[in-house]
Structure 1
Amino acid sequence: MIDHITLHMSDAEQGIAFYTRALAPLGYIPKVRHGRTVGFGVDDGTPRSDFYVSPMEDGAEAPVPTHIAFRADGEHAVREFHEAAIAAGGIDNGGPGPRAYHPGYYAAFVLDPDGNNIEAVVDWSHAD
């Protein structure tokens, strides 16, 4: 089980602005700030965050692109994520739709300002 992920970005403020808009359709909001790092999580009234955007260390090389998949509540949220992420400056990396990974996998992909591959997914094969 993953507790949290920290994504280091070359321009953390740009990343925070991007993720604030792009993740809103998935119910994620900025919840905590630790210096220049911002923690995002579902809007549940707690400070619990599971996704953090942080600046790269001074003098560090460019980040290596990462893939992160956020679970969406439904296909509508996947579509809204894709629209919001593009409007926030993301680059389309695969529009909303079913994927051939297995039946029930519906996703959209966007590259964030540092080129990280961000996915919103509904995966009905894992439904409770």
Structure 2
Amino acid sequence: MVQVVGIDHLVIRVSDFERSKAFYDRLFTFLGFEVLGEYGDAIGWTNGKTRFWIGEADEEGKKHPHRIGNIGFHHYAFELRSRKDVDDLEAFLKRENVPIVDPAAEYYEDYYAVFFLDPDGLKLEGMKYGERGSADGDG
């Protein structure tokens, strides 16, 4: 039987490549990612486990901006080490004037997260689940 062992990468299309490249480069530098590769119309980052790529949308795609609630992408969650890391991410987002749609809080039992938007309105999340259930507080 075929078995999935992980998610290798995510690729998203953006309306303004340079603007999104600058946004994601700041975000991923803060999150400990490095550039994996860059081509004329695409760039990817990795932390050794997760790969995230962006590429510019074509002209037809740019006619249909993303709207939360449409069929398709809802949000992408980055699992962080601790609740403190979620708080540190929120502080970084505030310093960078990134729109925060749901501030750092416990959204489900022992599920702590902050939700924010990229330049095209794609929803992203930094989260930590299960920290209170671990003896060392690191989940």
Which TM-score bucket, shorter chain as reference?
A: 0.7 to 0.9
CA RMSD of aligned residues (A): 2.4
1:70 is aligned, of 78, 81, 85, to 78
User: Any unmatched runs of 5+ in structure 1?
Assistant: none
1:119 is displaced (CA, Å) by 0.2
Identical columns (%): 25
1:87 is displaced (CA, Å) by 3.2
**In structure 2, distance between residues paired with 1:98 and 1:56:** 35
SS in 2 for 1:22: helix
Q: TM-score, normalised by structure 2?
A: 0.74
**Judging changes above 3 Å, is the alpha-carbon distance between structure 1 residues 74 and 25 closer, same or farther for their aligned structure 2 residues?**
farther
**Structure with max Cα Rg:** 2
User: Any unmatched runs of 5+ in structure 2?
Assistant: 1-5
**In structure 2, distance between residues paired with 1:78 and 1:25:** 12
Q: TM-score, normalised by structure 1?
A: 0.79
Give the residue type in structure 2 aligned to 1:62.
Answer: H
Give the residue type in structure 1 aligned to 2:57.
Answer: M
Could you tell me which residue of structure 2 aligns to residue 84 of structure 1?
Answer: 92
SS in 2 for 1:93: strand
SS in 2 for 1:77: helix
1:75 is displaced (CA, Å) by 1.6
Could you tell me which residue of structure 2 aligns to residue 51 of structure 1?
Answer: 52
Q: Quick check: 2:45–2:51 contact (8 Å CA) kept in 1?
A: yes
**In structure 1, distance between residues paired with 2:25 and 2:122:** 15
Aligned length, in residue pairs = 122
Q: Quick check: 1:32–1:40 contact (8 Å CA) kept in 2?
A: yes
